[in-house]
């Protein structure tokens, strides 16, 4: 599916960074249904088990989760016990807009723009899974898209079941991408000492959420709830 052609025909404004990412990435697959994401989560239609693993600089191969196909979908077992529950201190704010939450620069001592560039550089080296969603109900909410490594299908599945995954043909003309979730799990190890970190970056046009871990609660659920509140 040539998503760039389709969004052009529908006059959907794709952010420049997303356009550059999709034209530079190793490849991408557009998912449109929960069933497709169930298959992706276990590595294929006929597969029953899948290891979600990454090559992490300085650490070698890290297995984040083992996913099994089960009767009602999939079951994901995090290999790191710390990842089996939500860390309450995940959220940091990267932008300069008013907030009562801790800012990225206050906690980590540098501007987020540096890490944002590194995040896109890493994503460009991956096979990607993308899909569109609507967060909200009965027309009240915001449209958006998710961009994750293709092998993190179980995370994408969690997001798609928490929010409303949209088929590309059903996207209305001028569909507004008001939120984007980027998923880049290796940075949990390279930049955040193994911790769950979710960075919110609000711009005039959209609410960006950078999930640096594969636990969906802080980003796919609470993260988007935060975006809706703003």
Distance CA 103, CA 64 (A): 27
Residue 160, helix vs strand vs coil:
helix
* CATH class of the domain comprising 3-31+84-229: alpha beta
Calculated CA dihedral for residues 153, 157, 159, 161, nearest 10 degrees: 180
For residue 40, pLDDT over 90 is answered with yes
Distance CA 166, CA 226 (A): 21
Q: At what angle do helices 153-162 and 34-41 cross, to 10 degrees?
A: 150
Tell me: the pLDDT tens digits for 117-153?
999 999 999 999 999 998 877 667 889 999 999 999 9
Tell me: the pLDDT tens digits for 74-127?
999 999 999 999 898 999 999 999 999 999 999 999 999 999 999 999 999 999
Q: Is the dihedral of CA 18, 219, 142, 97 positive or negative?
A: negative
Mean of the per-residue pLDDT values of the chain: 91
In 79-150, where do the E strands start and end?
A: 91-93, 127-137, 140-149
Q: What is the model's pTM?
A: 0.93
In this predicted structure, what is the pLDDT of residue 112?
Answer: 98
């Amino acid at each position: 599916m040539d998503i760039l052609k389709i969004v052009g025909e529908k006059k959907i404004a794709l952010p420049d960074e997303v356009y550059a990412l999709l034209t530079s990435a190793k490849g991408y697959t557009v998912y449109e249904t929960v069933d497709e994401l169930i298959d992706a989560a276990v590595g294929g239609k006929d597969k029953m088990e899948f290891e979600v693993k990454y090559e992490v600089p300085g650490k070698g191969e890290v297995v984040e989760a083992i996913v099994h196909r089960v009767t009602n979908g999939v079951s994901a077992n995090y290999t790191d016990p710390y990842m089996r529950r939500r860390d309450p201190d995940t959220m940091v704010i990267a932008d300069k807009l008013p907030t009562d939450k801790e800012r990225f620069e206050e906690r980590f001592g540098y501007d987020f723009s540096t890490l944002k560039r590194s995040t896109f550089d890493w994503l460009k080296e991956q096979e990607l899974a993308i899909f569109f969603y609507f967060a909200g109900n009965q027309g009240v909410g915001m449209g958006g898209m998710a961009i994750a490594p293709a092998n993190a299908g179980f995370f994408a599945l969690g997001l798609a079941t928490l929010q409303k995954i949209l088929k590309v043909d059903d996207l209305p003309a001028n569909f507004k991408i008001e939120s984007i979730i980027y998923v880049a799990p290796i940075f949990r190890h390279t930049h955040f000492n193994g911790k769950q970190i979710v960075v919110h970056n609000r711009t005039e046009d959209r609410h960006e959420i950078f999930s640096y871990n594969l636990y969906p609660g802080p980003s796919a659920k609470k993260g988007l709830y935060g975006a809706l509140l703003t």
